[in-house]
Structure 1
Amino acid sequence: MLELLHQLAGWFGDPAHWSGPDGITARLLEHLQYSLLSTVLAALIALPVGLLIGHTGRGAFLAINLSGFGRALPTVGVVILVFLLSGLSMTPVYVALVALALPGIVTNTYAGMAAVEADIKDAARGMGMTGLQVLWKVEVPLAAPLIMTGLRIAAVQVVATATIAAYISFGGLGRYLFDGLAQRDMVQVLGGAVLVAALAISIDLLLAGLQRLVFARRTATTTH
Structure 2
Amino acid sequence: MYVIGIDAAKAGWVLVQYRHGHYSASVVATLDELPRADRIWIDMPIGLVEGRRETDQLLRRELRPGRTSSVFNAPFLSALTASNYMEANDLAKQHAGIGLSKQAWYLLPKIREVRQRYRSEMNEAHPEVCFARLAGHPARFSKKTNEGIAERIDLLEHFDCPPFWKRHQSHVAIDDWLDACLLATAARFPCEFLPADRPVDQDGYPLYAALPKKSPSPEWCG
User: TM-score of the superposition, structure 2-length normalised?
Assistant: 0.25
More strand as a share of residues: 2
When Rg is computed on C-alpha atoms for both structures, the one with the higher figure is: 1
If each structure's helix is expressed as a fraction of its own residues, which one has the higher value? 1
Greater RCO structure (CA 8 Å; 6+ sep)? 2
